[in-house]
Structure 1
């Protein structure tokens, strides 16, 4: 009899204690699951690039290398085939709705108990969307915001990285160094970002992202030239 491969789940959170709680929930929900833990977006990217494909990622919105929804945006662009459950201490309906709009299949507040965590994990692995009971996601859609969400979702993984660095105030030379590419390549990425977001400057791009992600995308230094 052929042994069925175990379900591979990656927990991405920078708090070891909470990662432990999530691991417990996963073990409770899925006996024999192969669970790995990472504490940053960089480590998550490395984990997903090695070995077997992940069946599910549990993603914290706030950890090193992540600003607002940037981690989710990057992950969905880089690994669109991997289901994602966002895990966050911010359980406002607006945040939950935005996560689903950006492609997450589930949202778990950090106050959820082990039973709820297990329920969410099983639902998403079965192909369903899971959000906390009682959360109303049916409020009227802001057309302008919805359009920007759609535009942000068209960015490539590298363009998401560049936008994150623009929000940190990095210059083209610094971004090129961090990404290991030429300044000309960075300029091309910035131009593509401006086109996709339908804005005229780096500052406008960061402000547009800030409107979607709240205050998580900084604007310091974003006014440097393309």
Structure 2
């Protein structure tokens, strides 16, 4: 039997955190090895104890879930993050993707959905569409809707998500463990495939075409 997936858990509500920990303990493939009441505390703990997946509430005092993901990526930590929230707001999946998260779930998701999300992001998958509803997608619609000249690799999609978050080539390089020059080449290829002249147009078109 393979080792359980090591999880770090962040939620400012002690009862919710305890409940999530108890729920996760019911699966023998998962193990909560770190927990904290805010993003800053979890960020500090993760520096000393690496994990396979971070499970974090979005809305926390101090460093919230979005800030936690951004801080991890800024220091070159690509640990997959699943963000949780009780709020079903149309823009949240977009913000989660832009921050660099791999998953997004509402807290009323079933235990099985949570298990599946953790298992899949631990395996390298991404489980969120940055724009999940048509009203949000329409807000970012780009006039040029011609199909890309080629398909996008998983790495290119990941870089597009970071471009959507406003990250520089240097920051993206740290987040995905590539050289800055390699990221620059990826960005050039992405622009060519989308037929756009700059990063902003590339992101808008990628959202419009549901590439991200």
Could you state the TM-score of these two structures normalised by the residue count of structure 2? 0.58
Query: Please, what is the CA RMSD of the aligned residues?
Result: 3.2
Contact 1:25 1:118 in 2 (8 A): no
SS in 2 for 1:36: strand
| Structure 1 stretch displaced more, 68-77 or 90-99 | 68-77
Contact 2:103 2:121 in 1 (8 A): yes
Q: 1:26 to 1:79 in 2, by over 3 A?
A: farther
The offset of 1:147, in angstroms, is: 10
SS in 2 for 1:18: helix
User: Distance in 1 between the 2:120 and 2:15 partners?
Assistant: 24
User: Distance in 2 between the 1:71 and 1:114 partners?
Assistant: 24
Q: Which of 71, 77, 80 is matched with 1:80 structurally?
A: 77
Deviations 1:21-80 (A, max 9, x none): 2223322344362432101122112211113x2111011121122257323322222353
SS in 2 for 1:121: helix
User: Distance in 2 between the 1:116 and 1:102 partners?
Assistant: 22
Contact 2:98 2:162 in 1 (8 A): no
1:1-226 residue pairs with structure 2 within 5 A? 5-31=3-29, 33-51=31-49, 53-66=50-63, 69-131=66-128, 135-136=132-133, 139-140=137-138, 142=140, 149-151=164-166, 153-154=167-168
User: Distance in 2 between the 1:118 and 1:93 partners?
Assistant: 23
Q: 1:62 to 1:116 in 2, by over 3 A?
A: same
1:160 maps to none
User: Distance in 1 between the 2:87 and 2:163 partners?
Assistant: 21
User: Distance in 1 between the 2:99 and 2:141 partners?
Assistant: 15
User: Distance in 1 between the 2:69 and 2:162 partners?
Assistant: 18
Q: 1:139 to 1:29 in 2, by over 3 A?
A: farther
SS in 1 for 2:26: helix
User: Distance in 2 between the 1:85 and 1:147 partners?
Assistant: 16
2:194 maps to none
1:207 maps to none
1:184 maps to none
Contact 2:97 2:128 in 1 (8 A): no
1:193 maps to none
Gaps of 5+ in 2: 143-160, 172-212
User: Distance in 2 between the 1:93 and 1:114 partners?
Assistant: 23
